[in-house]
Structure 1
Amino acid sequence: MSQSDAPTVLAERRQHLGILTLNRPKALNALSLEMIRQVTAQLLAWRDDAQVGAVLLRGANREGKAPAFCAGGDIRYFHEAALAGDPTIEDFFSEEYALNHLIHTFGKPTFVLMDGITMGGGMGLAQGCSMRVVTEHARLAMPETNIGLFPDVGGGWFLARTPGYLGEFLGLSGQVLGAADALAVDWADICVKSDRLDELVQAIADATAVDGVGALSAVNAFAADAGASSLAAQRDLVDRVFAAHDLAAIVAALAAEPGEFAAALAKALSQRSPLMMAVTLEQIRRARTMTLADDLRMERGLVRHCFHLRPGAASETLEGIRALAVDKDHAPRWNPAKVADVDAAMVAAYFASPWPAHAHPLRDLA
């Protein structure tokens, strides 16, 4: 079987542990609609299987290449589907967000091995798990503003629950975190050396009883020192800057800060879509008082607007994907181009639900 013919999701039962492996290593295990459906179907089957006590998620890797759990959704597909009017893009987001909710509410111990790149849709899968494992290769981020999107897949909910104003910082900047910083912002629970992951999986399988007892405690023996958090030294600056009341004030506060960290952060924000940073800021602050289900419903409306409020090439999201992954000129033409030109009405339009409550595609989330 050639790699192109290989299943994109592998399912295995090892004693009372169900193991799911995302299997698109050449694409850094980026999610397709087919993968979302396969993962959902298998999780539902294992949730209802009395012989399965726990579930583990991991990503396949290519030998000699940087590892990845999941680099996110397939953004090339988003670009092609949106321009072609392909209705499956609607199914993609509805089913992906429902899968995120399923993991958060699974009811049995769940593990994720975030070895290497875990971003966007990968974070959506990982953050609902009971035990979130990182390795020394960890590269975690919610980088959606870099493509004119917002941190979806429940990002509003879990960003809003990071300490202080880290959620605003991480959501607007897309800052990539290593293992120590992931632990510091509560995106991970434990660090394990990558060369012990196979041993860890077997230990979890051996320890997992039919009712899930013993599964979580099996991980503790594998804990490794992740080192010091580099972000810890910047917490005061982050909280001071990102507490500002709106995007323009955040940018102004950042410009007033001395030092290399502030300068690099200011440069990063200057390259993001001003409109989608403003939408992201509003999203995170609304999510602080929302349930996960309500946040996912809000995000489902937001993502529809990202592709339909400004149709076709006028979409900030399509322009961002074009610049990053299609033409690769890394010169997006944002509209508006300046933070000062984003007004409240532009942002508010994204938060008007496209559906009445009874017709919302995620209306049944508890």
Structure 2
Amino acid sequence: MSTSASPAVSDEIATHVTNRIGFIELERPKALNALSTGMIRAMHAALDEWREDPEVLAVVVRSRHARALCAGGDIRFMYEAAQRGDQRARDTFFSEEYRLNHAIFTYPKPYIALMNGIVMGGGMGISQGAHRTGGLRVVTQSTQMAMPETRIGLFPDVGASWFLARTPGALGRYLAVTGATIGAADALYAGLADVYIDEQALPALLDTLGREPFERGAEVVACIEREAAAYRVAPAPEDAPLAHARTLIDRHFALPDLARILASLEQERARGGEGAEWAEQTIAVLRERSPLSMAVSLEVVTRAEGSMADVLRVDLDLTRSSFALGDTVEGIRARIIDKDNAPRWRFARIEDVSAADVERMFESPWPANEHPLRELRG
């Protein structure tokens, strides 16, 4: 078994090749592996280095810490950049993050994400693309998956809307708007994960990956699938909370706009019966989130029918408007910085947000031929 280390670009990422597998290991535990610009660059550099290397058959991204694969992007950094009026720092961060997301999505070798612990926001961006590479999204009983951005007045970015738009029924719309956290069974049910393995089996899996002889990337994937086959998620995906709520989710969140979704939920609550309590809880969540960012999030999923490159370009446009015209700065202040949990949203009520307000958020600040992500394809 041979091991070689790549030159480290960030002390928050360790990259090495062991047994013809490139490992990317996130190493920023105090921030739950929230992505910094340095981490993004280090990951992208490793992927570029291994892309054409015949001695690297597949890539595994993982955390050395049980609590989180990655809890998102460095939100405090973005807030401080906004306070300084440093738009360039923010543009750089998001542009480089989205280029990394695209590189993963279009990677020519199997990319495997071990998604234990918290996998939110930017963590979804560095893992969901595995599904498109012939690789795997591996969940465990500790997986807590979400795109919780509406809580801070943002939207599900990092190309996540591409995957949310392709979940069954209205699940993606529901997850985008509410930011609900889901577990392993839910993720498998929604098509946001591929296989389940017991958390305690991960060290043995890594040991096997370091020892077993591989000639092709597909053999690495088959090895993981074989190891995972010994384990069953509980509850089974068809009995997951999302599966149980699916009829209600489809009934309400398939509606075309947020005001109608809310009105429909209020009717469900008023009717009483089995759906009333779920409707009550969902209304409470919607009343707490940014009305504008929820409306934008619903529209992001609606528009995510095209290529991942197109989705990421829209995401970058929306980061500009979310900070300049939206609720992101106030949301981060209220939830992360001051922690008073009393955000003063631009629109007091969901019913106050017009289609024109949403459309304005999608206007790109760049001509198409000058867009920072204009070179992305596919």
Q: Does 1:204 align with 2:221?
A: no
Distance 1:148 1:92, change over 3 A: same
Tell whether the 8 Å contact from 1:207 to 1:214 is kept in structure 2 after alignment. Answer: no
Query: Residue 297 of structure 2: which of 242, 258, 280 is its match?
Result: 280
- Say whether 1:166 aligns with 2:177: no
Report Cα offsets for 1:138-170 as digits up to 9, x if no partner.
100000000000000002111101111001000
Partner of 1:291: 307
Report the TM-score when normalising by structure 1. 0.93
Count of residues in correspondence between the two structures: 351
- Aligned residue for 2:219, secondary structure, equals coil
Query: Mapping of 1:110-259 within 5 angstroms?
Result: 110-129=111-130, 130-207=135-212, 209-223=214-228, 224-228=231-235, 229-257=240-268, 258-259=275-276
Say whether 1:27 aligns with 2:28.
Answer: no
**Residues 1:302 and 2:306 aligned together:** no
Equivalent residues of 1:29, 1:60 under 8 A apart = no
SS in 2 for 1:213: helix
Classify 1:208/1:159 alpha carbon distance in 2 versus 1 (closer, same or farther; 3 Å). Answer: farther
**Structure 2 contact 19–209 (Cα < 8 Å) conserved:** no
What are the ranges of 5 or more consecutive residues in structure 1 without an aligned counterpart? 1-5
Q: Which moved more, 1:103-112 or 1:207-216?
A: 207-216
| Cα deviation digits, residues 187-212 of structure 1 (max 9, x gap) | 11111111111211232344463442
What root-mean-square deviation, in Å, do the aligned CA atoms of Structure 1 and Structure 2 show? 1.3
Query: CA–CA distance in 2 between the matches of 1:202 and 1:13?
Result: 14
Deviation at 1:82, TM superposition (A): 1.1
Q: Is contact 1:69–1:113 with CA below 8 Å preserved after alignment?
A: yes
The superposition leaves residues 209-244 of structure 1 with CA deviations (integer Å, 9 ceiling, x where unpaired) of 344230111012322211121211110000000111
Give me the whole-angstrom Cα distance separating, in 2, the residues matched to 1:117 and 1:255: 32
1:68 matched to 2:68: yes
Q: C-alpha distance in 1, partners of 2:356/2:225? A: 50
Q: Secondary structure at the match of 1:256?
A: helix
User: Partner letter of residue 348 of structure 2?
Assistant: A
2:281 is the alignment partner of 1:264 = yes
| Residue pairs, 1:336-355, within 5 angstroms | 336-355=347-366
Of the structure 1 ranges 196-205 and 242-251, higher mean CA displacement relative to structure 2 is found in 196-205
Task: Describe the SS at the equivalent of 2:295.
Answer: helix
Which of 29, 47, 50 is matched with 1:43 structurally? 47
Q: For residues 258-297 of structure 1, what are the alpha-carbon distances to aligned partners after superposition, in whole Å with 9 as ceiling and x for unaligned? A: 432221111011100001111111111011x211111111
Flag structure 2 segments of 5+ consecutive residues without an equivalent: 1-9, 269-274
The one-letter code sitting in structure 2 at the alignment partner of 1:42 is A
Do 1:53 and 1:208's aligned partners in 2 also have CA atoms closer than 8 Å?
no
Question: What is the DSSP-based 3-state SS (H/G/I as helix, E as strand, rest coil) of the residue aligned with 2:24?
Answer: strand
Task: Give the aligned partner of residue 88 of structure 1.
Answer: 89
Q: Partner letter of residue 159 of structure 1?
A: L
Instruction: Give the TM-score of the pair, scaled to structure 2.
Output: 0.90
Structure 1, residues 21-50: CA drift from partner, whole Å, max 9, x if none?
110011100000010001000111011211
Contact 1:159 1:284 in 2 (8 A): yes
